[in-house]
Amino acid sequence: MSSVSGIGGAIEEPKREGLVADRRASAAGPGPAPGRGRSPLLPETGSSGAPLTAVIAVISSLACIALAAFILTASAAENWTADLNASVTVQVKGADVAEIEQRAGRAAEALKSAPEVISFKLIPSAEAGKLLEPWLGKGNTGSLNVPALIELKLTDDGRRNLPALAEKLSAASPGLVLDDHGDWNARLSSAARSGQALAFAIFALILGAACAIAMFASRAGLAANAEVVSLLHLVGATDHYIAGEVQRRYTIIGLRGSLIGLVIAYFFVGLFALATRPRAAEETLVPGIDFGYGLVLPMLLVPIAICLVTAISARLTVLRTLGETY
């Protein structure tokens, strides 16, 4: 097109560079201002800001601690049961310390010639009494006739034929009690399985709570930004586009909060490991917490699970809400 200018009505051609620039500007659309990032569909404040990040951090830390309890219970039970299954204990009783030591000596001589015995360790009555000092007090076990103990390491055939070994020891030295720790092992395994089930149930409930919080927050966010959502529908935005924007937002929030919760959980589990270190005689009864890769690496999966739960829950909630509204 041409334009009329001047008094004489001379025809002036517009500059070609100006037309090209106008077309490029109109094709590019309004867009964000230079130097600014993409604005989220839901703002940082309100239900998708710092409060939600703090809640997810708390939930993530609790989930990490529950998972750590599950792993530690399994590890402790495995160590305990492995030690119990690998050894057999012989108690040597008597009327006094001298008789106990005499019977323990005869039992040791009989064990040396037993082919099913790999090795054994004799704990005299006086040394066995010292093991009770943390509970009875130092120097209070001297007047007690504490049975001597013999710890045996047996072959597989020896463990299957414990009655025969018991008869052989009784013939060599009366007053011996052979204990394969079967009852204690069964009770310990049952308690460990119950503890693992409880820890896993708590972990599942925490993930369910994260799902519920994401659903509530996404509904609240849509309600607070109803005008923005309506405007997006008017300009042709689909439900999946809006749900994708909300999912992206909650993925970022979930990752941020879950990582904070992971650091908090590492801190508290580390403090618990330091506070429960076994001492002296407790070392054989109470296992220590191994704060190694077997515990640290599985806890890294919790932030991934929290992100997936929050993102998927938010997306499905938004799709359902938009489907009911529009």
25, part of any domain:
no
pLDDT in tens, 128-176: 877 777 777 777 776 777 888 888 888 877 777 778 888 888 787 777 8
Q: Which of the four pLDDT bands, split at 50, 70 and 90, describes residue 274?
A: confident
Q: Are strands 148-154 and 88-92 parallel, antiparallel or unpaired?
A: antiparallel
The two three-digit tokens of residue 62, written as one number: 């609790």
213 and 291 inside one domain: yes
What CA–CA distance (Å, rounded) separates 11 from 270? 84
Dist CA 6 CA 321 (whole Å): 62
Residue 28 lies in a domain: no
- Domain boundary at 180, 211, 228, which? 180
Would you state the structure tokens that stand for residue 291, as one six-digit string?
A: 């704060």
pLDDT at 203: 92
Overall average pLDDT of the 56-65 stretch: 93
Same domain assignment for residues 147 and 118: yes
* Same domain, residue pair 200 and 282: yes
29 domain-assigned: no
> Rounded to an integer, what distance in angstroms lies between the CA atom of residue 82 and that of residue 76?
10
- Please give the distance of CA 192 from its chain centroid, rounded to a whole number: 16
Q: Is residue 1 part of a domain?
A: no
The answer on 141 and 59 residing in a single domain is no
User: What percent of the chain has a predicted confidence (pLDDT) above 70?
Assistant: 78
In this structure, are 189 and 161 located in the same domain? no
Please report the pLDDT score of residue 78 as a whole number. 79
- Of 202, 207, 194, the C-alpha closest to 73 is 194
48 and 69: one domain?
yes
**Which of 127-136, 172-181, 212-221, 260-269 has the largest mean confidence?**
260-269
Asked whether residue 137 is assigned to any structural domain, the reply reads yes
pLDDT at 278 over 50: yes
Q: Identify whether residues 138 and 72 lie together within a single domain.
A: no
C-alpha 229, offset from chain centre: 39
Structural domain contains residue 31: no
pLDDT band at 23 (very low <50, low <70, confident <90, very high): very low
pLDDT at 234: 82
Is residue 11 over pLDDT 60? no
How far is 18 from 21, CA to CA, in rounded Å? Answer: 5
Residue that is last in its domain, among 133, 157, 180: 180
Which residues are bridge partners to 90 per DSSP?
150, 178
Statement to judge: residues 127 and 245 lie in one domain: no
How many domains does the chain contain in total?
Answer: 2
Is residue 32 a part of any domain in this protein? no
Co-location of 125 and 245 in the same domain: no
Contact of 253 with 56, CB cutoff 8 Å: yes
d(CA 264, CA 27): 49
Instruction: Work out the average pLDDT over 234-258.
Output: 86
pLDDT band at 283 (very low <50, low <70, confident <90, very high): low
pLDDT, mean of residues 241-264 = 88
| Six-digit token string for 280 | 């002296």
Residue 3 inside a domain? The answer is no
What's the rounded Cα separation, in Å, for the pair 299 and 265?
9
User: Quick one: 253 and 286 in the same domain?
Assistant: yes
Please give the pLDDT value at position 67: 92
Domain boundaries, position 197: 42-82+185-325
Is residue 202 predicted with pLDDT exceeding 90? Answer: yes
Q: Is the pLDDT of residue 267 over 70?
A: yes
**Same domain, yes or no: 209 and 304:** yes
Question: CATH no. for residue 158?
Answer: 3.30.70.3040
Same domain, 202 and 62: yes
End-of-domain residue from the set 139, 156, 180 = 180
